[in-house]
Structure formats: C-alpha cells, structure tokens
Structure 1
Amino acid sequence: MRVKIFIFISALWLLASCSDSNKIPEGILSQKQMVDLLVDMHLSEAINGQRFRLDQTTKNFSNDLYFSICKKHDVDPDVFAKSALYYGKHPKQYDVIYDQVLNKLNEMEEQVKKEAPKLKPDDGKK
C-alpha cells in the first residue's frame, strides 16, 4: 500500500498540468496542513521500512499508519486524497509543499544528530 500511495502521488505530480492558480478551493487542505501530513507520512514510511526489514510488519501496517496520521491531524482520508490530487494538478504549489517537507525532515535529522550521544570507539585502554 505504501508503494501504491507513493506511486500514485508521484504520478499525479509528474503528469499534472502546469496550472498556477494560487486560490485553493474549498475542501482542499492548506499547504501547511499538507506539509504536516506529508512529514508524518514520510516518517511513518521510514518506520514501516524498518519494521519490514526486521520482518515485524503486519499485512495492514501501512494502512493503519496512513489512517492514524489522518486521525492525528483530524483530516478525513478522502480529503487528503482529494488534496493530493489537487496539488498534483498544481505542481508549482506542490514544489513549495515538498520543499517545506524536505526542510522539516532535514531539520529533524539534524536535531537527532545533535542530540545523539557521541559514541567513542573503545581503544582498549582502561
């Protein structure tokens, strides 16, 4: 399911028209809401990838993560899908969203690196 969602969103983004309307219709998530949802979705995909690698995943784990993220953000999954379609047809707006998503993920990664304890190699001298 995770691959299907990624392919679906990517295909929409690549095949979409180049309309540049800045007015977002009613029933479509704001760019900030999309950024927050997509950040959590990418993080959940990383979790799912680790669980799969460790053979600890269940059949519906990807779907459960997807729905739990929508629930966390109080967003109907159909509204998210409709919003993904809308932004897929407006790639310039989607570029802005994904730039913000990547920036947030990079900031999170840097924060983790700063907070991670510095491991010193054991040189055998004690």
Structure 2
Amino acid sequence: MFKDILLVGIGSFAGGSLRMVVSKYLQLCVAGSFPLGTMVVNVLGCFLIGIVSSLSGSESSISPAVRLLLATGFCGGFTTFSTFMNENVMLMKDGDDFSTSVLYLFASLFLGFVAVLAGRQLVLAFR
C-alpha cells in the first residue's frame, strides 16, 4: 500500500508541476481572460489518460504500478478533468447506457458549478 501511495504521489507531483508550467506559459501567450492554459491542460490530460487506459488490459499492457503512476498520479495531478472524462467513457464501456454517462457528465458540471458559487457566497457572507 505504501508503494502505491508513493507512486501516486510522485506522479501527482510531476503532473501538478507540469500543469502549472504549461498553463502559465500558455496563458501568457493569450490576450484577454479566456483560460486557454487550463483548457489545453484539460484536453491534453484527457488525451494522455485515454492512452494510458487503453494500454491497461491490452496485449501491450502496462503494469498496475505504472498505471497508478501515470493515470492516477500523473494525469490526476495534471488535471482531474481527465479522470472525470475517463470515468464517463468507462460508464459506457462497462455496459451502462449512454444516458448514465450523460447524467454523470451534466450533473457533475452543474453541481460543481453550483458548489463553487455556494462556496464563494459562504465566504462573502462571513467577511
């Protein structure tokens, strides 16, 4: 168990550090407030976790330890959005119908947005 935690921690450190560098650099290249850096990191993270999850359990399989390091650690540290999107794909892949995946997608986006607004309002109420 400690080895797994260490693998995820190392991957998270690398992914989170790279997220900051890529996001900050790309944001400097864009005029205005559009969060291009975050969008690129999220899409790139989705691409990477798609590769890693496809290599898991295939003929060119990667070990569970490498999967923890790359998918849970690196991609999770790089962006949790990639994990969120991969879970949507897995819902469909595991035999659940498309509507379950769509429900998870929109419920997560809506509830996450509402939760951010609620958190902000809570802080503003006590200032």
The normalised TM-score by structure 1 is 0.30
CA radius of gyration, larger in = 1
Compare relative contact order (CA 8 Å, sep 6+) and give the higher one, 1 or 2.
1
